[in-house]
Structures are given as structure tokens and as C-alpha cells.
């Protein structure tokens, strides 16, 4: 078995996330206490109890998902469960780098809180938008965006899986691109309930601000190789990891190519570490022969460890 741990990004948050892990495993509870101390406010309470309206704020969502993901990873690590590879979707790349020993939890949780603030402040609410385009290939989406831009910004933001591309940009341009995609044969084009247009050129002000913060951190070389978002290539050094985190803010998330590279490298089992099963669903569409699991509470941990033990004994 060649194992990759993959870590979810924004959109996987839900009230109650991490609570069962923190109650069942001391190492998970310690992660939430570390994050609360680093941030100076009770993030754990927002994760466990909400309110949902506050948990949905980008500057809260990002550290909340990272903390929950790292808590799940610490539980796995405490049981000697270690991957050959790591990757994360957008924000999830920070969780992956904590797991790879590049950043501490405290460093990462402060960085992603600022990342969320910068991304939210880059574009006034209502001026940007994102939309999911279903069942239209990437060249078709790119052509529709080019036609719809009309001097504004709209481009592919997330290359998620065969038949699922997310676009981002100015709200009016996104609306035009949605219509162009449907005219080109897309089965659906759906506006996403997000507060900012992530992973497009409108995020460059946020990228510049984040670059200064990340430059002040010491990125250690990776103990486990990462396949990064911005290039879908293998990263092993701290400097490469930092560079990828900076550039990913305004660049497309190359999730499908990243998973395809992991499969090419021999990965046959993917474990989504953190809240939800978004990545598990995408991987099933990209790597049809791979085994997929998720770990975000005691029952899902038990399900995977049982399956892993069964596979090892087969």
C-alpha cells in the first residue's frame, strides 16, 4: 500500500467539527488548545458550537479547518500511521505542510487567519463571485471565460476533477461566463456561496500581503514529499513550499493534475484527513482504481484502521 494523506480546503467546514476527536483523543484536544493560544481567542468553541454564521467567515473558516485537520493528523501520527505523500486543496496545503514538518501548528494557524483576512479584504463583498461548471472540459471553460471577460477578470480557479471546474472573477464576468459555458454544453453552472473570488488575478493584493508574512517564517525542508497546488509537482524543500503558498493565492488550484501525479508516483490509497469528504468524492472521479477513506471523527478513524489492517493481513 502506498499511502497519501490529503487535506481539505474551504467549504468543508461544519459546526461540531473536531469535537468528537477532541473528546476521544488527548492529542486532538491539545491541538485545539494550541490553536486557541496562538490566535488569542477560542477558535475551538467556534468549531465545536458555532454559530455557523461566524464559522463561515473566511478569516475564521481557514484556521478552523486547518486546526481540525491537524487534530485528525495528530491522532493518526500518534498511532504510527504515516503517509508516503501529502497534498492539500488550497488552504489544505498548509495542513499538509504541518504534517510534513515544514511549519508548526502555531505558525500555520496564524498565517492562515491572516490569509483569510487578506483574501476577504482584496475584493469588496459583492464585487466578486465563483461558480462551479459541470460537464464541460477545461478548454471549453477557458474559451468561455476568455469570451466573457470583456475587460474584466474571469478564469478557472479550481481544476477539481473530470467535468468539474470552478471559475472566479468579477461578478458580472462570472455570470457571463456561466451563460457561455452552458451555451457550450455544460450540464450545469452554479454560483457558489463564497465571500470572495479566490484563486484569480483579483487576489493579487492578498498575495502581496501574505508574501511578506510568509517571508518572516522559517520553512523547514519537508519530512514527507508534497505535491503542490500551483504547479502539481513534487516539493521537498522549505523554500519551494513557501513559494508555492504565495503563488497559489491568485493561481488556479490544480487538484486533478495533483492527484494524477500521485497515482503516477504509485499512490493507491488516499486518506482525507480533516472535516468532510469533498476530496474523497473528487478522488473517486479522478483515480477510479484507488482506495479512498476519510478521517474526521472516531468512527471514521476506526473504519479506516480496520480496512488498513485487513488489507495488510490479506
Q: What is the pLDDT of residue 147?
A: 97
Judged against a pLDDT cut of 60, whether residue 224 lies above it is answered with: yes
Q: Binning pLDDT at 50, 70 and 90, where does residue 1 land?
A: confident
pLDDT one-digit tens code per residue, 138-156: 999 999 999 999 999 999 9
Judged against a pLDDT cut of 90, whether residue 195 lies above it is answered with: no
Helices 26-39 and 105-122 meet at what angle, rounded to 10? 50
Checking phi first, is residue 185 left (phi over 0); if not, alpha (psi -120 to 50) or beta? left
User: What is the residue-averaged pLDDT of the chain?
Assistant: 95
Judged against a pLDDT cut of 90, whether residue 308 lies above it is answered with: no
Q: What is the pLDDT of residue 313?
A: 53
Q: Binning pLDDT at 50, 70 and 90, where does residue 306 land?
A: confident
Judged against a pLDDT cut of 60, whether residue 168 lies above it is answered with: yes
Active-site choice (12, 44, 90, 155): 90
Q: Identify the three-state secondary structure at position 130.
A: strand
pLDDT one-digit tens code per residue, 128-138: 999 999 999 99
> Distance between CA atoms of 197 and 248, rounded to whole angstroms?
13
Please count the CA atoms within 13 angstroms of the CA of 10 that sit on its side-chain side: 29
Q: What is the pLDDT of residue 265?
A: 97
Active-site choice (69, 199, 250, 258): 199
Q: Identify the three-state secondary structure at position 188.
A: strand
114 in Cβ contact with 61 (< 8 Å): no
Q: What is the pLDDT of residue 126?
A: 87
Q: Binning pLDDT at 50, 70 and 90, where does residue 257 land?
A: very high
| Residue 90: active-site member | yes
Q: Which residue has the higher pLDDT, 195 or 19?
A: 19
Q: Which residues pair with 134 in a beta bridge?
A: 164, 188
Q: What is the pLDDT of residue 162?
A: 94
Instruction: For 16-74, give the DSSP string.
Output: TTTHHHHHH-HHHHHHHHHHHHHHTS-HHHHHHH--HHHHTSHHHHHHHHHHHHHHHHH
Q: Report pTM.
A: 0.96
Judged against a pLDDT cut of 70, whether residue 59 lies above it is answered with: yes
Closest CA to 159 of 199, 201, 113: 199
| Residue 89: active-site member | no
Q: Which residues pair with 168 in a beta bridge?
A: 130, 155
Instruction: For 195-264, give the DSSP string.
Output: SS--SSGGGHHHHHHHHHHHHTS-PPPPSS-EE-TTT--EE-SHHHHHHHHHHHTTS-B-HHHHHHHHHH
Q: Binning pLDDT at 50, 70 and 90, where does residue 307 land?
A: confident
Q: What is the pLDDT of residue 240?
A: 98
Judged against a pLDDT cut of 70, whether residue 227 lies above it is answered with: yes
Residues 6+ apart with CB under 8 A from 239: 219
Judged against a pLDDT cut of 80, whether residue 5 lies above it is answered with: yes
Amino acid at each position: 500500500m502506498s499511502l497519501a494523506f490529503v487535506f481539505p480546503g474551504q467549504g468543508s467546514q461544519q459546526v461540531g467539527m473536531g469535537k468528537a476527536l477532541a473528546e476521544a483523543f488527548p492529542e486532538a484536544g491539545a491541538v485545539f488548545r494550541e490553536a486557541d493560544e496562538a490566535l488569542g481567542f477560542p477558535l475551538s468553541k467556534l468549531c465545536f458550537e458555532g454559530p455557523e454564521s461566524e464559522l463561515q467567515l473566511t478569516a475564521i473558516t481557514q484556521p478552523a479547518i486547518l486546526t481540525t485537520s491537524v487534530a485528525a493528523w495528530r491522532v493518526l501520527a500518534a498511532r504510527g500511521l504515516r503517509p508516503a505523500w501529502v497534498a492539500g486543496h488550497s488552504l489544505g496545503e498548509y495542513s499538509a505542510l504541518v504534517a510534513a514538518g515544514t511549519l508548526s501548528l502555531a505558525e500555520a494557524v496564524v498565517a492562515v487567519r491572516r490569509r483569510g483576512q487578506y483574501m476577504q479584504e482584496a475584493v469588496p463583498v459583492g464585487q466578486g463571485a465563483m461558480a462551479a461548471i459541470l460537464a464541460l472540459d477545461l478548454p471549453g471553460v477557458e474559451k468561455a471565460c476568455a469570451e466573457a471577460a470583456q475587460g474584466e477578470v474571469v478564469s478557472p480557479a479550481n481544476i477539481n476533477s473530470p467535468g468539474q471546474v470552478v471559475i472566479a472573477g468579477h461578478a458580472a464576468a462570472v455570470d457571463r461566463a456561466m451563460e457561455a459555458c452552458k451555451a457550450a454544453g455544460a450540464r450545469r453552472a452554479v454560483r457558489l456561496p463564497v465571500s470572495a473570488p479566490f484563486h484569480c488575478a483579483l487576489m493579487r493584493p492578498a498575495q502581496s500581503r501574505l508574501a511578506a508574512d510568509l517571508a518572516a517564517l522559517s520553512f523547514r525542508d519537508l519530512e514527507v514529499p508534497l505535491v503542490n497546488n500551483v504547479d502539481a509537482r513534487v516539493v521537498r524543500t522549505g523554500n519551494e513550499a513557501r513559494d508555492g503558498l504565495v503563488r497559489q493565492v491568485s493561481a488556479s488550484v490544480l487538484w486533478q493534475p495533483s492527484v494524477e501525479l500521485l497515482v503516477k508516483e504509485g499512490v493507491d490509497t488516499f486518506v482525507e484527513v480533516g472535516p468532510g469528504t469533498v476530496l474523497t468524492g473528487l478522488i473517486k472521479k479522478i483515480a477510479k482504481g484507488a482506495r479512498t477513506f476519510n478521517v474526521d471523527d472516531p468512527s471514521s478513524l476506526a473504519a479506516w484502521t480496520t480496512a488498513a489492517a485487513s488489507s495488510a493481513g490479506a
